[in-house]
Every structure is written in structure tokens, then in C-alpha cells.
A and B are shown apart, each in its own frame.
Chain A
Amino acid sequence: MSAQFMQYLLTGLTVGAIYALVALGFSIIFNASHVINFAQGEFVMIGGMATVSLTGSGLPYMLAIPLAIVAAALVGLALEKFAVEPARGASVVTLIIITIGASIFLRGLAMVVWDKRLHALKPFTGDTPIAIAGAAILPQSLWVLGVTLAIVLALSWFFGRTLLGKAMLATSHNRLAAQLVGINVRMVLFLSFGLSAALGAVAGILIAPITLTSYDVGVMLGLKGFAAAILGGLGSGIGAVIGGLALGIAETMSAGYLSSAYKDAIAFVIILAVLFFMPSGLFGKRGGERV
């Protein structure tokens, strides 16, 4: 394996991990409501930008990061409470359009509250590259990979081992039956927005030291995360992770070996290809309803 290949692979895994976190956010909300939340990218932006302004006002990372995550989660909860819930009973398409509106609104608000400039966050632990098999990896990339792994493990514990997680899974499969065993499905939807927003914020904070952040960083990251979720199969947790990593690697490989001009196009080519040839994605539900 050439050092160059190794370098692309490591970079790909790093961006891929970010896409995976965004894709997980899409999947969690999709499972609770079958809504594709196009404001997911804005949660990523809020995480990064809030951390920038909190550290700018003198707070250390130890405080600024948790506060930024909480802020994004609150925005997510507010979005559900004030934009999605009032439209309850509306069709899924209507709800999706509401989330598109919300994303434009949040982006505009960010531009007013903060500004239109690019901001950099300091890397969490220095910026001396570490050499691995001839390639160089930034310490921040290790943070990205480590935190993503920890989150994936925590989520699989949450959905696999806690009753609240099972209640959310149950709701995703059959709302009626879930309600009739006493699960408040509206509460599940509310929580899923908070959880997705927090995941998005973590992604935005982790990537900000590498790629910079600004009020509109959520547009591209949101779309890439969406592509990753589609590739993995909407609603599948493992699919979101694999889809994110695969998309990240595909992107850096094509940028490296073909042309970096096509880097962003890869995600959209993948969306189209998946929708044409395997609409349920790699790990999505297949086939019809059992009767």
C-alpha cells in the first residue's frame, strides 16, 4: 500500500466519520417520524459556531463544548416543538418542507447572530501530525475517529440495552402498537430531535479545527450526511456509519486520484446511483410489509 493511498484513506475516514454522525442524526429522526430533517446540517453549524463564540468569550473547551452541544440540542427540541409538532397530522412531505424552511431560517439567524466570516477552532490537542505507515494524521483526526467510535458504541448500547431506546425502535416500526403499550410517540419524536441535534453539534465541533466553520457550513455537510444515510439505507444505524465512512473514502480517493474538482460531485452521484439501483440502500429495509 503506497503512502499516498494510506494518506487518502486516513483523510477519507476522518471526513467519513463526520458524515456518519450527520447520517445517524438523519436516521434517528427518520425512524421516529419518517421525516427527513433537512435542518440536520444546521445543527452541525450551530455546534461549531457556538463553540467558536463561546471559546471567543474566554471559556475553555471543557465548558464551551458541552454548552454548545446543549445549545444545539435545545434548538433541535425547539424546532420539533414549534415547527413540527404544530403541523402534526400533516403529510410527511409537508413536514420535510417545514424542515427545509427551518434550515433556511436557522442559517439566516446564524448570519445575524454571528457573522459571515470563516472561523477556525484551535485543535483540541496540538497540531503536530503523527506519522502512520508513511502517511501523516492530525491529532484532531484521531479525536474525530475516537469520539465517533465512542458515540456509535453508546448509541448501540442505548438502542440495544435500554428500554427507552427499545421504545424508540418500537415506535419506528409500528407507531400504533407502540402507543398501545403505553409509549408516548410524540415524546419519542421530541427526544429524537434533541438527540439528532446533539449528534450534529458534536460532528460540527469535531470537524471545525480541520475544515473551518461558518454560518453556511451546514448546507454541504447536511447534504453529504444525507447522501451517506441514503447509501447506508435510511433508518439503519449501522448503515449510516458504513455509508458515512464509504462516502468519505470515495470522496478523498476521487479527489486524490481523479481531480479535486469532482470531490463534491461524488456524493450526488452516489445518491443518484443508490436511488436508481438499490433504493433501500446497503442496510435498509427491503421488501414489502408482512401480512
Chain B
Amino acid sequence: MSLLRVDGLSKKFGGLNAVEDLSFDIQPGAVYSIIGPNGAGKTTLLNLLSGVYQPSAGHISFGEHDLTGRPPHEYASHGIARTFQNLQVFFNMSALENVMVGRYLHERSGLVSALMRSRRLARAEDACREEAAELMRYVGLHDYLSAAADAMPYGALKRLEIARALATEPKLMLLDEPAAGLNPTEALELDDLIGRLTGRGVTVVLVEHNMRLVMGVSDHILVLDYGRKLAEGPAAAVRNDPKVIEAYLGSAVAHDGSFESGIASAVAVAVEMRR
């Protein structure tokens, strides 16, 4: 049975169809990448899959639950976590507290019990603190255990978001451009981290422009273009799909040169244009 099922999903912003009639299934345990040119609707799709946007049409079901139209915190409580392309960190807290907040769903004690059973709570808080520290080490943030979030460098904050997302004990993790803004060494370390995530039993949905990363870790790739599905399938099949190459580079280039170098230059152009 598929973990996530998307059926006829559409999102309109005024007259623009950011995502249009999209259907796909995500199987548990896989790394499922979503690629496409800038403006293809990738981030819109992630926002739909995490409840940040409500779809204009279509359904999203997760396991046996229909989550269509539910608020974001319910997506989280069913086991969908995400990170952001532009960081969404709680800068008014320490790094460790950021991850601890991620434990909220699992360690929640009501206001009354917080006031009545303070000793038990103190123990629970220590355990929570330790778990959060463990997750920070897991993503490679050993050096930032006592850092304030607003004193951390960009690459570390990206990992911090992953640790916070992991703290919610997700079944499905949506990573929105985790490699953007990282240097090549940091980007290489992401391969390893994503591999370990699936090793933990977390299914990963990856939105990414770094083709080396996408081709290296993905089991399955969905290609979007103007909000529609352009191609979908195993990584090896998608990388040789002429339609995909055309969407990235235009048809003239589609017939010569290797796809990967083509994609790399297309990405370089795209990055250039964003500046």
C-alpha cells in the first residue's frame, strides 16, 4: 500500500495554475524526488503536501487518512514533517530548544498536568532534552549543542531544520532544496544524511536543483513543468527521457551531449537568473 496518495491535485492562484491535476503515489521507504525548472510548482506542491496551502481541487491521503483540507498541525501529527527552502527557524531560542519543540507532539502534557506533576515533568523534560541532543548529533551538529539559533551559520541551520523535523517522528519527510546555499562539501554530506534517513524508515520527498544529489539518492523521480506531470518513474528512466531534457534545455540541445552535464549547465543558468 502506498504511503502517500495524491489524486487530481490542483492549486490555482488567481488565473495561474501552479499545480494542475497531479496524481501520484509514494511508496514507503523510498527517496522520491521532485524536479523541474524554476516556477514548475515544486514548492507549491510541498506546501500542499504539508497543509500550508489548501488545494483548489483533488485529494491527499496519507496511509488510511484523508488529509485534504486539514490544518498543517494535523499533517504533522499524522507523520509528515518538512524543512524549508528559506529557513524557518525559531531564532528566539537555542538550537537545542528548536529541536525540543519538535518533540511537542510526543511529549505534550496539558497545562494542568504541567502545573500538578512538576517532578515527573522535570524528568520528562530531561529525557526530551537528551533526545533532542541525540538528534542534533545524528545530523552532525555536535558543535552546536549549546548554541543560540541566531548565532549559527546557514549550513548548520539547514541541518537544524532536519533535526527538528526528525523530532516529530515523521513517516514522511519533505525536504525543500536542502542543498541550496550549501558549499560542495556540505552538499556531499547530505547524500549520506538522506541515506541514513531512509535507513531509519523515513520516506523522503526531495525537491532539489542539485542534480548530482538528486541522481545520486533518488529511487523515483517526478518531473514537473508548469504545474503538470511531465514524467515520472525510476531515476534511471527519467534521466534519459527526451521530454525531460527538452523541458530543461529546449529541443535543440536534446539530441547531443550527456544529460547530466546539460542539467548542470541548465541549473547554473537558472541560478544565475535568480540572482
* Interface presence of B180 (CB below 8 A): no
A258-291 contacts to B (CB < 8 Å): 290-291
B128 CB within 8 Å of chain A:
yes
Smallest Cβ-Cβ distance to B128: which chain A residue: A163
Docked pose: A182 CA to B101 CA in angstroms: 9
Q: Which residues 54-99 of B sit at the A interface, judged by CB distance below 8 A?
A: 71-73, 75-77, 81-82, 84, 86, 88-93, 97
Residues of B within 8 Å of A170, CB to CB, are 90, 93, 101
Q: Would you call A181 and B92 a contact (CB within 8 A)?
A: no
Asked whether B146 is an interface residue with its Cβ less than 8 Å from the other chain, the reply is no
Say if the beta carbon of B116 comes within 8 Å of chain A.
no
One of A158, A166, A184 near B101 (C-beta < 8 A): A166
Does the CB pair A181–B101 fall under 8 Å?
Answer: yes
Quick check: A180 and B90 within 8 Å, CB to CB? no
Q: Decide if A173 touches B91 in the complex (CB within 8 Å).
A: yes
> Does the CB pair B114–A181 fall under 8 Å?
no
Q: Are B71 and A163 in contact (CB under 8 A)?
A: no
A181 and B104 within 8 A (CB): yes
Q: B105–A181 contact, CB under 8 A?
A: yes
Q: Which residues of A contact B11 (CB under 8 A)?
A: none
A 156-191 binary contact with B (CB < 8 Å = 1; else 0): 001001111011011011101111111111000001
Any A CB within 8 A of the CB of B220? no
B108: which A residues are within 8 A, CB to CB?
163-164
Contact across chains for A176 and B104 when beta carbons are under 8 A apart: no
Nearest CB of A to B91, in Å: 6
Bound complex: CA A172 to CA B195 (Å): 34
Residue of A nearest to B79 (CB): A182
Shortest CB-to-CB span from A152 to chain B, Å, is 16
Chain A: residues with CB nearer than 8 A to chain B? 158, 161-164, 166-167, 169-170, 172-174, 176-185, 191, 290-291
- Told that A163-B125, A182-B104 touch, could you supply 5 new A-B pairs with CB distance under 8 A? A161-B125, A162-B121, A164-B114, A170-B93, A180-B81
